[in-house]
Structure 1
Amino acid sequence: MRRRTASRLLPALLAPVLLATACGGGDDTDTGGSGGQADGEPIPVGIVTSLSGPLSSYGEAYVEGLDAGLDYATDGTGACPDGRPIEIETIDDGGDPEQAVSAATDLVGRGVTVLGGTASSGVAVQLAPFAEENDILYLSGAAASDAITGINDNTFRAGRQTYQDVATAATLLENASGDVLVFAQDTEFGQGNVAAVEAVLGDEGATVDSLLVPASANEFTPFAQQINDAAPDLLFVAWAGDTTSAMWQALQQQGVFDRTTVTTGLGDLASWPAYGEEPQDINFLAHYVSGTTDNEAADAMEEAIAEPDLFTPDGFVTAQMVVRAVCEGDPADTASMIEALEGWEFQAPKGMQTIRASDHAMIQPMFTAQLTGPVGERVGEVLSTVPADEVAPPEGS
């Protein structure tokens, strides 16, 4: 078992708008050695993600991973094999779809043909059709909505999707039947989790209901009381953002853990203290826990970043995909970049991952985990690695 202690939290060091320069080739692309000097016409890439707002910590971790991934994917050369550097411009969307589309429109107007980023599912489902309409490549980041997979040929994803979360949670349950209540925010992300729980656990005999609350809610005692009144056999919690601590505190104070089994996704490091005095009462599925895997990509990320967080690998993988697309394909020809990515199998920090050609699902391993230790010294411990094919979303779903 591999462990990671949340001894400190990632500082918010990133400015709302920043410019980074990197370049590259993919894992199986010859970059012509390391440490070379980039020259030639730059390849512009736009990253639109949350660096402010409720998902800002996700965006910050993503950008850190992106920087590390670009360095890794290029062996530090700063160029594709033809010598062209990649110039990355990162813009804050604040988690607002309108702001994100405005930023994307400006970037495309300035010649950008590759967009990445996106912590919010609500933003991602707006940028995906924008990418198709403008015939550019779009690489969604941490956004988990299943609707992103297969939405169009121009859209790919660097992270996991909700179906993979729920399928991983199902491996934690001895019996998936009974009454299941999904407790989530009334957002694209929350609604997607309800649909995925119905698809996965509903198909196994569970009766699924939902309790969706406004994303703006910050008082959760009434909702905890509703959960107790419903008395489900299983409570599946899908939550994101800066109200996480208040939500978990309300569930604990109202005795929800004493009345039902609770399953949720293990959040970012900042959320670990929020799980209460006895986090072992929660069954955690996990997208990523730092220190879990042992491979070249993971080692490079751990070496570059002192405390990789939940969505650091999504940034790292985005960089690998950018490098693959613009160096194996042609940045001026979106179809060639799509072809370069479809079916690509590569080593990522989580292990071997494959971009499914038919719908661009990112097939990847997932994890189950537990938290131990006192509130200020939490340790994340991976209990099992769930093989990628066991949690792969069905094609055409």
Structure 2
Amino acid sequence: MGAGIRSGKAGIGAAAVATALLAGACGSPGTAADGGKDAPVKVGLVYSKSGPLAAYGKQYIEGFRAGLDVATNGTGKVGSRKVEVTEVDDAGDPAKAVSGAKDLIGKGYKVIAGSTASGVATQVSAIAEQNKVLFVSGPAATDALTGAGKFTFRSGRQTWQDIATAATFAGDVKGRKVVVFAQDGAFGQANLAAVKTVLGGKGATVEPLMVPASATDLTPFATKAKAAKPDMLFVAWAGATAQAMWGALGQQGVFDVTKVVTGLDTSATWPAYGKVAGKVTFLNHYFGGAAGTALEKQMTERVTKAGSKPEIFTPDGFTAAQMIVHAAAAGGDAAAMAKALEGWSFDGVKGRLTVRAGDHALLQPMYQAKLSEGAAPAASVVKTLPADQVAPPAAGK
């Protein structure tokens, strides 16, 4: 996979319709009884248990379970209130996510979390805002969630932070040429837009080299990438053709003429880089062992005990549990929970995290990483970038 998380392919066009239907079907959630002081904290996780992003969904839910155990000191309770978690599989389909969220909110759930795909997250956010329930998105990276509303938060990073990390590789980009080599789809277009905003805003000339998602012969596109003579080739790629793509870039000598930058994805993709692994410069949200924090150790112990291992989006689930437990301590009212999160700074798996009060961006460290070559590649941190260095601009500014 290329830089950043893969964005969902669906847009937000149906959000307004779904929201209107929900408002009509459920009435005003604000009138629902919150229950007594011992009423359970009902959390609905609408995420990709199946579908194209199922691997990411698995990482998220494993992290959430570990985070809930740590955040509640093994009790599964916030004070005297039991945390009741209901999982709903959206399969990466916005329509299924909308249906699942509608059902949960109709049953009185005041906390929804888990969106794995960006196209899903934007629609669930709209529903949460209309119905005044807390929404903590998961791995979905779309920048559109930052500043989306009073009740929308995120437990992962956003695309801007990915690109800002990439910018640290380039130094002064004024007057330099950056080519975005990406599949022509939602994921590629989102990364192109972010590169134009971040690097273009610093004076770089940004050009797209978009490849049809159906393309299997990638040599002609690798040839074009070399011929473009960029100062940086920013690769945003996902899916089964990744190995062929990297092979084509290597065969055409692209690494001999330019710096190639991309995002380091889940470890299952690392062997795809083959012989070019050591020639790629990686930005990174997280990989197992990257942080070296006490909470990372606790998360790793729990995930390992459950038969898995930490991956790129395991911290997103862990952080979501931390945020929900903290919010729920403020009571059952969504407005109170949202207020409790705004401006909250806390220790997370990656280090110190802050929920920016004005727009709910999650400020966090990011990583420059490298990958060893060979049949079993290993990742290591080149540099940890502090949260303020990669912080997105305030939404709306």
Smaller-chain TM-score range? Answer: 0.7 to 0.9
Q: Tell me which of 257, 273, 276 is aligned to 2:274.
A: 276
Q: CA deviation at 1:248?
A: 2.9
Return closer, same or farther for 1:57/1:389 CA change in 2, 3 Å cut-off. Answer: same
Is 1:173–2:173 an aligned residue pair?
no
Would you say the 8 A contact 1:164–1:366 is kept in 2?
yes
Return closer, same or farther for 1:229/1:54 CA change in 2, 3 Å cut-off. Answer: farther
1:386 aligns with: 385
Partner AA of 2:381 in structure 1: V
Partner AA of 1:364 in structure 2: Q
1:340 aligns with: 340
Partner AA of 2:66 in structure 1: A
Is 1:296–2:298 an aligned residue pair?
no
Is 1:66–2:64 an aligned residue pair?
yes
CA distance in 2, matches of 1:133, 1:218: 43
What aligned pairs does 1:96-111 form with structure 2 within 5 A after superposition? 96-111=93-108
Cα deviation digits, residues 105-157 of structure 1 (max 9, x gap): 12212221211111211111221111111211111111111111001111101
Cα deviation digits, residues 290-335 of structure 1 (max 9, x gap): 21223331111111123200000001001111111112232xx211
Q: CA deviation at 1:179?
A: 1.3
Would you say the 8 A contact 1:146–1:192 is kept in 2?
no
What aligned pairs does 1:1-397 form with structure 2 within 5 A after superposition? 40-81=38-79, 83-177=80-174, 178-213=176-211, 220-241=218-239, 243-306=241-304, 307-330=309-332, 333-375=333-375, 377-396=376-395, 397=397
Return closer, same or farther for 1:319/1:243 CA change in 2, 3 Å cut-off. Answer: farther
Unaligned ranges ≥5, structure 1: 1-38
Q: Which moved more, 1:340-349 or 1:42-51?
A: 42-51
1:34 aligns with: none
1:26 aligns with: none
Q: CA deviation at 1:195?
A: 2.2
Return closer, same or farther for 1:219/1:142 CA change in 2, 3 Å cut-off. Answer: farther
Count how many residue pairs are aligned between Structure 1 and Structure 2: 355
Residue 124 of structure 2 aligns to a residue whose secondary structure is helix
Residue 77 of structure 2 aligns to a residue whose secondary structure is coil
Residue 288 of structure 1 aligns to a residue whose secondary structure is coil
Would you say the 8 A contact 1:137–1:334 is kept in 2?
yes
Q: Which moved more, 1:301-310 or 1:384-393?
A: 301-310
Partner AA of 1:354 in structure 2: T
Residue 276 of structure 1 aligns to a residue whose secondary structure is helix
Q: CA deviation at 1:80?
A: 1.0
CA distance in 2, matches of 1:344, 1:189: 30
Identical-residue share of aligned pairs (%)? 52
CA distance in 1, matches of 2:216, 2:100: 29
CA distance in 2, matches of 1:118, 1:255: 39
Residue 148 of structure 2 aligns to a residue whose secondary structure is coil
Would you say the 8 A contact 1:121–1:189 is kept in 2?
no
Would you say the 8 A contact 1:329–1:340 is kept in 2?
no
Q: CA deviation at 1:382?
A: 0.2
RMSD: 2.0
Would you say the 8 A contact 1:139–1:157 is kept in 2?
yes
Q: Which moved more, 1:140-149 or 1:220-229?
A: 220-229
Partner AA of 2:137 in structure 1: S
Would you say the 8 A contact 1:292–1:382 is kept in 2?
yes
Residue 209 of structure 1 aligns to a residue whose secondary structure is strand
Determine which structure has the larger helix proportion and give its number. Answer: 2
Return closer, same or farther for 1:87/1:216 CA change in 2, 3 Å cut-off. Answer: farther
CA distance in 2, matches of 1:190, 1:198: 12
Cα deviation digits, residues 145-204 of structure 1 (max 9, x gap): 111100111110101111111111111124424111112344444333222211221122
Unaligned ranges ≥5, structure 2: 1-36
